[in-house]
Structure 1
Amino acid sequence: MGADSRALDRAGLLQDLRTHAFAVGRAPGPPRIGAEVELIPVSVDTGAQVPVVSIDGPSTLPLLRRFGARHGWTEQPSAYGVPQFGLPNGGVISYEPGGQIELSAAAFPSASALLHSLRGTVPPLMDAARGEGIELLSVGVEPRNGIEDVDLQLPGARYVRLTRFLESIGTGGTRMMRQTASMQVSVNLGAEPLLAWRVLNAMAPYATAIFANSPVYRGEPTGHRSWRAHIWRELDGGRTGCFACDNPVAEYLDFALAAPAILLGEEGDARPFAEWNARGCVGPDEWRAHLTTLFPEVRPKGFAEVRALDAVAPEWYAAPLVLLAGIVQHPPTLRAAAELLGAPDPALLHAAGRDGLSDPRMASVARDLADLATAGAAALPGFFDADALDEADAFFARYTRRSRSPADDVLDALAAAPAASLVQIEAAD
């Protein structure tokens, strides 16, 4: 059957991606930076993952309502069946499918302003939760329980459809949805957007290794520094990974067209978007919605959303901001990183999650990236204050320059006190 004349044409889709996703040909504007941080709520007493609402046990929605009322939050409906909260500074608190709490900060003109916003919300919320018997873990995967212990918490159509699709291709997807947490950093693509895209894709495995902190699942060491990254590698279905970047826009278009369109057709229909398009069944709105269901390590959204990191403890939030913005926002450093990294190697994602910085080659490149980023961040006038630079440098000194990641602290603590509570170890890390 030939393509329907109403189908979105390839040239138009390429131009849409080029302009709106990759920001090619657009004035770069001043640097801006944003972040999303996810927290996994678990019971201090039992270690069980805490639901959004519960009749006979702890739950997080009452906690957020009480905390939000004291801090000027505005409760809002969401399309996912549970409320979200607007913050006075433009941020949003919402839920992930397993009940993980996500703070989506507004974009700020400096990393220091972003850090001030994150720190003004997350540590106070963690303290309030602890007072109600809930520990909010900043780790890549919930360490104690299996997926059978965590029900889907968002009844909206998007996540029900995604659940059915992921269940049809294996169990990794439901674990990803309900038990993992990350810190996602959004940075401008700048004056050389395709070079920035290439460098960020090449950096993705190193970012995973540097910030790996999820070595435990179901109460046991997994053999992976980032079990969250392993879960993402298990997740098949043509919507994850990073890119070789030989022809970035066309490569991403092919990736998006080949991905099953989980928001279209009957529930469970896994036909690729390209097939729906060939039948003339979709338009620009469906195309844009489909793009939101893709989960590569770096997602182009008119800026770059870097998704390769495990959740990061609040005291170390400056480190990923320095690593990413210090390289991408400073053109000489961006070009130096491109020379250091060479072409992106998607195969490195497996080693990054498994071995972290215990791999000597990965550790060597990670140290060089940290040095480049630190120098680049210091060269951005007014973007990082001295405290942020010092904090990031302290992280790199404690971990990266010693070929370690936070996962190694967890493994050391387990080896020293194997009977200790995983919740206590993860919360103290």
Structure 2
Amino acid sequence: MPPLARADLLEDLRTHAFALGRAPGAPRIGAEVELIPVAADTGAQVPIVSADALSTLPLLRRFGVRHGWTEQPSPYGVPQWTLPDGGLISYEPGGQIELSAAAFPTATALLRALRATVLPLTAFMRDAGIELLSVGVEPRGGLEDVDLQLPGARYVRLTNFLRDIGTGGERMMRQTAAMQVSVDLGAEPLLAWRVLNAMAPYVTAIFASSPVYRGEPTGHRSYRARIWRELDGGRTGCFPCADPVAEYLDFALAAPALLLGDGAHWRPFAEWNAEGCAGPDEWRAHLTTLFPEIRPKGFAEVRSADAVAPEWYAAPLVLLAGILYHAPTLRAAADRLGAPDPALLHPAGRDALADPAIAAVAGDLARLAMEGAAALPGFFSADDLDEAAAFFARYTFRARSPADDALDALPSPEPAVCHAAD
């Protein structure tokens, strides 16, 4: 087949990924929350299926029947479930449980849907001896303790790719968890895209919750973010946004095409395309294998936050919608942030709000977001705004993140004992 023309790929991204030229409708918001199941007695990550040990699949099936879920096969060799409200429960490669909520016209409706599933599921699993952790990385075990749980071709190929580039990225697949928020790009999509890419490091810092791995402090408030920085392989990061659509096209073309060929040689998509081995379907599938901090999908999928505890779900929604969905706040945030700085992702994950410069901008963003969210009629309830305000007061305005709570909870090292000489 003839190669896909650059002009056609640019137009495809403009139309479908960045939604340029689309008349903006009433804003909607969605979210995906990931939960890491661990045994309550040992802290070990729990598999999907086990013949002789605790596992999550039988329990999810039982819970789903009680709550009207519809089970169906997934492309990855294990079931998934459609919820009555349109959400989806599925598995991640290490057995993490993911709730992908439907998009809702208000944040309040989204929060209600998330909690209506997560809270009773958490209680049900706890009664069965499983804790569902809302943290960025499983804190007790190592990668060798968690086998790949999804046998489908996509994740087998991704595993092989990550092994071949040798960065330890399998931890990302099997031991990390995030809260991803999906927001519309609105009437000024390129400005919204630039602001979101500039915000990405601050979102990481504000919601960092994963400073512990193998039971020890890692030196990174978000060890999940550190794992993503190590992953590289040409498919992560954020963008300077000088020419957003062209930048994203170059990023996608340069990324190795995981779903093409026999996997023996990880060649960029551009090479496969030049040889006439890729059509529109292969292009669209390739885009799903890219994992930047902000992923354009006709809306923006914000992927920068560690998993967030259910009692704080309102905070990331307020932070993002409060800035994006109120035009004066969007412009004020753009002025405060300036151009996106991809290099800032490293200190944001390592130091989070312990970095004074990051903390100062994060605090300003939280204030702007609260103002913007309060100006969105009916989008957030008073309780939602109070919850977000409580989070920012407890953490952001004190230059703390949830990671600091986890570090504070670690046992203090035993003091050294000095013995006097005989």
- Offset of 1:268 from its aligned partner? 3.3
- Offset of 1:267 from its aligned partner? 2.3
Structure 1 residues 380, 417: CA separation in 2 closer, same or farther (over 3 Å shift)? farther
Secondary structure of 1:214 counterpart? coil
Q: Is the 8 A contact 1:41 1:136 kept in 2?
A: yes
- Offset of 1:251 from its aligned partner? 0.2
Aligned counterpart, 1:187? 183
Which consecutive residues of structure 2, in runs of 5 or more, have no partner in the other structure?
415-422
Aligned counterpart, 1:223? 219
- Written as runs of structure 1 = structure 2, the 5 A alignment for 1:25-424 is 25-415=21-411
> For residues 354 and 413 of structure 1, what CA distance do their matches in structure 2 show?
19
What code does the residue aligned with 1:233 have?
R
> For residues 366 and 172 of structure 1, what CA distance do their matches in structure 2 show?
30
> For residues 116 and 44 of structure 2, what CA distance do their matches in structure 1 show?
27
> For residues 71 and 236 of structure 1, what CA distance do their matches in structure 2 show?
40
> For residues 200 and 365 of structure 2, what CA distance do their matches in structure 1 show?
12
Backbone CA RMSD of aligned residues: 1.0
- Offset of 1:269 from its aligned partner? 2.6
> For residues 107 and 417 of structure 1, what CA distance do their matches in structure 2 show?
46
Q: Is the 8 A contact 1:172 1:232 kept in 2?
A: no
Residues 314-357 of structure 1: CA distance to partner in whole angstroms, max 9, x if unpaired? 00000000000110111111110000000000000000000000
Residues 66-99 of structure 1: CA distance to partner in whole angstroms, max 9, x if unpaired? 1101100011100000000110000000000000
What code does the residue aligned with 1:319 have?
A
- Offset of 1:415 from its aligned partner? 4.3
Q: Is the 8 A contact 1:203 1:341 kept in 2?
A: yes
Q: Is the 8 A contact 1:52 1:60 kept in 2?
A: yes
Structure 1 residues 173, 268: CA separation in 2 closer, same or farther (over 3 Å shift)? farther
> For residues 356 and 378 of structure 1, what CA distance do their matches in structure 2 show?
26
Aligned counterpart, 1:6? 2
> For residues 171 and 191 of structure 1, what CA distance do their matches in structure 2 show?
39
Secondary structure of 2:12 counterpart? helix
What code does the residue aligned with 1:351 have?
P
- Offset of 1:171 from its aligned partner? 4.3
What code does the residue aligned with 2:398 have?
R
Residues 185-205 of structure 1: CA distance to partner in whole angstroms, max 9, x if unpaired? 000000000000000000000
> For residues 70 and 50 of structure 1, what CA distance do their matches in structure 2 show?
22
> For residues 361 and 80 of structure 1, what CA distance do their matches in structure 2 show?
43
- Offset of 1:37 from its aligned partner? 0.1
Count of aligned residue pairs for this structure pair: 414
- Offset of 1:170 from its aligned partner? 1.6
TM-score, normalised to structure 2, is 0.97
Q: Is the 8 A contact 1:40 1:142 kept in 2?
A: yes
> For residues 7 and 135 of structure 2, what CA distance do their matches in structure 1 show?
42
Give the percent of matched residue pairs that are identical in Structure 1 and Structure 2.
80
Secondary structure of 2:144 counterpart? helix
Secondary structure of 2:98 counterpart? strand
